[in-house]
Chains A and B, each alone.
Chain A
């Protein structure tokens, strides 16, 4: 049995990894230093911005009534906490976002699978998908309120409306981009359509699905906040609208900041999931 040169090369590459030369050490140090520098500057920008904001507001260079200021934000958070409503509002918004996000992704994937399965149905529904994708879904808000009633259910439906079609198109596009020959391979072994789906389509679409998840995180927050603007009596979106109406900019700023933190945590969760799922396999 002869081995090609490439075979031997890839073996010696595997062995080389364990030996670290001094040159390589220097390189690694430099990488580490650079990373630290970036982290430091990132932290510095945030700190300077917060301090400037605080000082400018204190010195009345900007009007804290309109711009609020960091100390007022902290006070607002504490006040909301003491009133026992802080986690109530955060919880409601996060719950709506997570439910909308999970439902949108699952339903979108299922619909994409159905459209892939039946090419005929896909062709029939194409113009409807185009219209639904182009339509600003926010316009449907009042319809949902009338049909479902003002409450969390309408907000979740709003979130679904915003994220569903995008997910369907994204996942279906991913399915159709998969090499036909990979599908042929499964067929040469006598594989059924269902086996093509489970053995090729779904595993090969991991990157697409993760991408859809990332897009949906953003979209589901849009849906939730729009929904809350329209109907709700609780949640961060409600606090923002209420704060704006009664000119309590402290409340608006506080809610926006909490919203930013919550959305980031959810996005990072998806990034972590991506690492877990596609670890060194792609």
Chain B
């Protein structure tokens, strides 16, 4: 498999009147096509900044990012971004919310509409398409947000703490849902989280960042000896604890 994302020596400095803050330093790693990679690290280590750089929303002060061999300059259509909250617009129906990305890219075609309806049907939201977001539960809203991203047909999904606004039970269910959807649609995914359990349960590899300035401390290969892996079955596997301990030690948390 080829590397679809290549991060090479990326560094990021923020300027403020009080001085310069180094958020990221010398970050290099790559993601293969179809792989699910989690990035964990203490709060404020620049995890989200890293995602913003990969997506092209902001440019790094040093280093390069390549998507399928092309250098990232500005936002790319190959990338779908999922934010912490679903940010569905209350003034739009579910269907109109799903179409937002396509509208912005001026890509509303009959085929795209067909695809949106198809995705809504597949993921159990078709009967809610004319409802407004405040009539849906948190889990359903997060699924709508994912469909809003998927309908633009990205190759890579960037998930920026995409589940942390949900309560724990809903979160486990949505993890399961979204993991299944991502695997089924055969997407590459990069998940930023501060939840160790979540990062292990979903990822093929976990990238551990140090505290500020964020550098790569370690990359863990996550492998489970199970047939049909899902986040919940991973959590049940005996190896889960072992990975958890290793990453926990690596995080080196002091309160």
Residues in chain A within 8 A of chain B (CB atoms): 1-7, 9-10, 179, 181-182, 184-191, 195, 199-200, 203-204, 206, 278, 280-282
Contact = CB atoms under 8 A, between A and B. Distances in A.
A281 to B, nearest CB: 5
B227 to A, nearest CB: 19
Contacts, number: 85
A195 B101 CA distance: 11
Contacts of A188: 55, 57, 75, 79-81, 83
A190 B84 CA distance: 18
24 contacts: A1-B122, A2-B176, A2-B177, A4-B137, A4-B170, A4-B174, A5-B169, A6-B140, A7-B137, A7-B139, A10-B137, A10-B140, A181-B85, A182-B87, A185-B81, A185-B83, A185-B87, A187-B75, A188-B57, A189-B100, A191-B104, A200-B89, A281-B91, A282-B90
B218 to A, nearest CB: 29
Interface string B44-58: 000000000001010
B223 interface: no
B136 A10 contact: yes
Given A188-B57, A190-B74, 19 more contacts: A1-B177, A2-B177, A6-B137, A6-B138, A6-B170, A7-B137, A7-B140, A10-B135, A10-B140, A179-B87, A185-B100, A187-B57, A188-B75, A188-B79, A189-B100, A189-B152, A190-B77, A200-B89, A281-B91
Nearest to B89: A203
A6 B138 CA distance: 8
A4 B75 contact: no
B249 interface: no
The A interface is mostly helix, strand or loop, or mixed, namely: helix
Contact of B84 (A1, A2, A6, A181): A181
Contacts of B185: none
Nearest to B57: A187
B150 to A, nearest CB: 13
Looking at chain B, what size class is its interface with the partner chain? 35 or more
A190 B104 contact: yes
A199 B124 contact: no
B89 A181 contact: no
A199 B77 contact: no
Interface string B132-168: 1001111110000000000010000000000000000
B123 interface: yes
A35 to B, nearest CB: 27
